[in-house]
Amino acid sequence: MKSIGLSKLRNILYIWYREYRVVFHDTGVVLFFIALPLAYPLLYASIYNPEVVRDSPIAVVDNSRTMTSRELCRRIDAAPETKIVSYCANMEEAKELIHRRICLGILEIPHDFNKKIMRGTQSPVIFYSDMSILLNYKNYLATLTDITLDMGKELQSRKLVGATREQTDIATNPIPHYSIVLYNPTEGFASFLMPALLVIIIQQSILLGIGLIRGEEYERHLHSLRGDTLIGKSLCYYSLYLVIILYVLYIVPRLFDYPQWGNRWEIFTFTTPFLLSSIFFGHTLALFVRERESVFLVIVFTSMIFLFLSGVTWPYDRIPLVWKIVGALIPSTWGVEGFIRMNTDAATLYDVRGEYLVLWGLTILYFGTAILGNKWLSLSTQKQLQNEAR
């Protein structure tokens, strides 16, 4: 009894050791396992490195041409988020600029703008915003709201003749408020998207690499995958990814100064079931890869789907139930959620225990599907071969 256990163990160790040779002798696998997680984070990080959008272009059609209207324009131009690129004589000219995409927003100041303010009635300005890029719209909306409210307060305080500064302040703003943006204080795009992308990149590189190895083995009719083989292979991949995780989840965020508040040992602990479940998930998906190169066709497009299922771009509670269930079966959904909470929101491992446990559950689930699926696959191919032999 004991000797069987020992021989199993020896088997596992031997397969573990042999798998390193499989990995490093295949340029394709090296590319997926090493080059991809090395290069993609840097590429994405540099694309999004400017973090925030400055100077969204605006064209102004100032029909009022008064001191107040010019003051308004000056302040809009001075705001960091917006920039006035042109003063147009009429709307037609401004529209032309939008169609040429020289500006993406038009501010129209009506001819009676100043008159209305003097008269003491509301004096609206009109803004047209292109909606093809939402970050520009966000800039326009925030800046215009802030500036018009500020100017409004100043106009209001002019009426309070003889009041002290504090009195004016209290009269115009009885309930002051302040907002604190937590965890991503600059509201940067990279700080928001990159942590999720990093986790997805790790998972996809695992899926692609394993798919390629298994596809190759299928082509060579080496598709039987017993428990000890699976464990041995997975130990090899897991040991490789320990190093990669260190680079992707620790060094890259450090290099690009992303929020990094979590305890790094707890994060490493969290990644264990994430890596294992991704590896076994990879072995399960690889059942559908019958050829080395078809791994590209089967796996690559899923990156976008997994990114959306993780709930980072679209709030998780607003995802329809069907997709929530599908998402719950993907390791990255829980991996992204847990990593962001720990890394960016400074949650402890205890706070993300739900995600942690689910990932262990997925590990067990996909270990089972990988074994059973491969058994079924080898049976069905055997039958096929027998049929052909007849």
What are the tokens at 39? Answer: 């290069």
Minimum distance of another protein from residue 237's CB (angstroms) = 20
Minimum distance of another protein from residue 9's CB (angstroms) = 33
Minimum distance of another protein from residue 92's CB (angstroms) = 13
Nearer to another protein by Cβ, of 87 and 308: the residue is 308
What are the tokens at 288? Answer: 């559908």
CA distance 51 to 175: 32
Minimum distance of another protein from residue 324's CB (angstroms) = 10
Nearer to another protein by Cβ, of 4 and 321: the residue is 321
| Region of residue 221 (phi > 0: left; psi between -120 and 50: alpha; otherwise: beta) | left
Nearer to another protein by Cβ, of 321 and 389: the residue is 321
User: Residues near 73 by Cβ (< 8 Å), separated by ≥ 6?
Assistant: 60, 62, 84, 87, 107, 109
Minimum distance of another protein from residue 135's CB (angstroms) = 6
What are the tokens at 277? Answer: 């479940």
Nearer to another protein by Cβ, of 239 and 313: the residue is 313
What are the tokens at 15? Answer: 């397969």
CA distance 210 to 133: 37
| Region of residue 187 (phi > 0: left; psi between -120 and 50: alpha; otherwise: beta) | left
Nearer to another protein by Cβ, of 7 and 173: the residue is 173
Minimum distance of another protein from residue 4's CB (angstroms) = 37
Q: Where is 61: in which H helix or E strand? A: strand 56-62
Nearer to another protein by Cβ, of 14 and 314: the residue is 314
User: Residues near 261 by Cβ (< 8 Å), separated by ≥ 6?
Assistant: 183, 343, 344, 345, 346
